[in-house]
Amino acid sequence: MFEGFQAETVDGAGLPVFVRHAGAGPAVLLLHGHPRTSATWHRVAPRLVAEGFTVVCADLPGYGRSGKPVPADDHEPHSKRAGARRLLAAMRALGHDRFAVVGHDRGSYFALRLALDHPEHVVRAVLVDCLPISEHLERITPRFATQWWHWFFFAQPGTPERVINADPDAWYRGDPEIMGAENHAEWRAAMRDPEVVRGMLEDYRAGLTVDYRDERADRAAGRRLDQPVLVLWSLRDDLEQLYGDPLRIWRDWATDVTGHGIDSGHHVAELAPGDLTAAIADFLARTPLPDA
């Protein structure tokens, strides 16, 4: 897994950020979702290197082997804005001042915040299986609350930690044949770490509080993504079922947005790596990116 990649921990504005990186050419930052680590990209990252990119896979702040912010009552240390600053610092520590970002699931929220807050550094954005948090919360229906109930369970103080840590293998189920044995082993070790569990839950708690507030402020100020944006979604997941065409919603957030569905379940980097890589590489090749 990740043959030819260098694994190291770099400074992310005072928080250690674990990264894997390889390649030459324009830089692309890959951000995983819940409950994965950067290992979820093990079938995509080498393909992107072969396409001529410098690829950086980071464990999100609070996840995997990255540092764990100290929780606060307002959840700000786990906000996407704080996380984006840390990820930007990590990329600059690696020598990448301008780069594209690809985010899946929760990683897409960090990618969105990176692109909104740091457009001078983020030149392209690929957002996979997500809408802005505020768009979800302002469209709550019984169907959404039933299918995405974990958002609100994770927001409860204390209880989710006790439930998950009592039997993490039962709570987070994964198949090593589907995920890949090494990816599965890394993911399973992370799930058994109570500090990782707390970090992941704080990510969701921030989502319903400080992140929601920040997105509403963005909309009130008329802030939009001016970089080219590619939106992708898994056709065998429920995003399109809940909302119809996700591009219709994303056009309120970005001036140049394109996208399409991929025939896959939710963890698309593991289930359909070829299709996902092709979509990312084609999008990034449309307009030359700055050198890494």
Annotated catalytic residue, options 34, 121, 184, 266? 266
Contacts of 206 (CB under 8 A, 6+ apart): 75, 76, 78, 79, 80
- Whole-angstrom CA distances from 144 to 109, 158, 216, 245 are 18, 24, 20, 16
Q: Is 82 exposed, middle or buried (0-12, 13-18, 19+ CB in 10 A)?
A: buried
Is there a catalytic annotation at residue 193? no
Q: CA-CA distance, 155 to 132, in Å (whole number)?
A: 18
Annotated catalytic residue, options 21, 32, 42, 105? 105
Is there a catalytic annotation at residue 34? no
Q: Which residue has the tokens 């709550």?
A: 140
Q: CA-CA distance, 40 to 286, in Å (whole number)?
A: 26
What's the first-to-final CA gap in the chain, in angstroms?
Answer: 23
Amino acid in position 108: S
Contacts of 100 (CB under 8 A, 6+ apart): 26, 27, 28, 29, 122, 123, 124, 125, 126, 284, 289
Question: Which pair of structure tokens corresponds to residue 88?
Answer: 């930007």
| Catalytic residue positions, numbered | 105, 266
